[in-house]
Amino acid sequence: EAGVAQSPRYKIIEKRQSVAFWCNPISGHATLYWYQQILGQGPKLLIQFQNNGVVDDSQLPKDRFSAERLKGVDSTLKIQPAKLEDSAVYLCASSLGASQTDTQYFGPGTRLTVL
Amino acid sequence: AQSVSQHNHHVILSEAASLELGCNYSYGGTVNLFWYVQYPGQHLQLLLKYFSGDPLVKGIKGFEAEFIKSKFSFNLRKPSVQWSDTAEYFCAVNGGGSYIPTFGRGTSLIVHP
């Protein structure tokens, strides 16, 4: 079974530039999550989709971050404009359903460095 | 605010030593508890989870965790660690009225052969 795919794996940009990350979840998984993991901390949920609808985006900094999941499959996360404090690993995860007890499967992450 | 504490940030053990990693949470009410592991160069993956039933949960690779409601704890244990257990371990919690999973900051475990 193919896992969660993410690209790019690494990205270096200057502050005030924009950047986009892509995620392809496991086939058939209805729920998709984007997390931000700053060095030395645990992952922090940014947004959760079920199919193409947003379940929770309360921790997404909406002034600069946006995410979409058109057609309920792939998803993109965008940052515009980037700040130094956005340097982190951005993780995508998917689960079969939206239950709190469903197992989440994580992708390899995208490491973003903002200079 | 809901929080998850992992008190041991770095743990160094020799092979065959016993392991216990602490995890405490601040939620009230019904909670779901998870331990995730990230081996060097690999994805974050589920080690075990608890949401109801027997508070002693067994996971993959000989790991187990015990949910003690009165102590708001979900400590991870393994009686005899191996070099291949070297990894970062994360405790996570959801529930208490929130679907949002909250992760602890992680514990880095190094096992010397």
Q: Tell me how far apart the terminal alpha carbons of chain B are, to the nearest angstrom.
A: 41
- Measure the CA–CA gap between B110 and B48, rounded to whole angstroms: 20
Q: Give A59's contacts in chain B (Cβ within 8 Å).
A: 100
Is the CB of A9 inside 8 Å of chain B's CB atoms?
no
Distance to chain A for B45, nearest Cα, Å: 7
Kindly report the average pLDDT of chain A as a whole number. 94
**Per-residue pLDDT at B39:** 95
All residues of chain A having their beta carbon less than 8 Å from the beta carbon of residue B8 are none
Chain A closest-CA separation from residue B106 CA (Å): 6
Q: What average pLDDT does the segment A49-68 reach?
A: 94
Torsion angles phi and psi, residue B81, rounded to 5? -80, 155
Mean pLDDT of B108-113: 95
pLDDT in the model for residue A107: 97
- State chain B's mean pLDDT as an integer: 92
pLDDT of B98: 67
pLDDT tens-digit profile of A3-57? 999 999 999 999 999 999 999 999 999 999 999 999 999 999 999 999 989 999 9
Please list every residue in chain A whose beta carbon sits closer than 8 Å to the beta carbon of residue B49: 101, 103
- Which pLDDT value is given to residue B95? 82
What would the pLDDT profile of B17-41 be if each residue is shown by its tens digit?
Answer: 999 999 999 877 888 999 999 999 9
Burial class (CB in 10 A: 0-12, 13-18, 19+), A90: buried
Name, in order, each residue with C-beta under 8 angstroms of B100's C-beta and a sequence gap of 6 or more.
A45, A48, A56, A58, A59, B2, B94
Lowest mean pLDDT: which of A22-31, A93-102, B13-22, B100-109?
A93-102
CB distance B92–A42 less than 8 Å? yes
What pLDDT sits at residue B7?
Answer: 87
**How high is the pLDDT of residue B101?**
85
DSSP-based three-state secondary structure for A65: strand
A45 has a chain B CB within 8 A of its CB: yes
Torsion of CA B26, A102, A95, A82, to 10 degrees: 0
Under a CB-based contact definition with an 8 Å cutoff, are residues A114 and A83 in contact? yes
Nearest to A42 among B95, B99, B103 (CB): B103
Read off the pLDDT of residues A71-89 as tens digits, 9 standing for 90 and up.
Answer: 889 999 999 999 999 999 9
Q: What is the DSSP letter of A51?
A: T
For residue A111, CA distances in Å to A6, A21, A59 come to 11, 10, 20
Q: Which residue of B has its CA nearest to A58?
A: B100
Min Cα distance B101 → chain A (Å) is 7
Q: Which residue in this structure is represented by tokens 């216990």?
A: B20
Record: contact A107-B43, CB cut-off 8 A: yes
Half-sphere exposure of B55 (CA within 13 A, CB side): 11
| Helix/strand/coil for B11 | strand
pLDDT digits (tens, 9 = 90+) for B46-64: 999 999 999 999 999 999 9
Instruction: State both tokens at A98.
Output: 């939206």
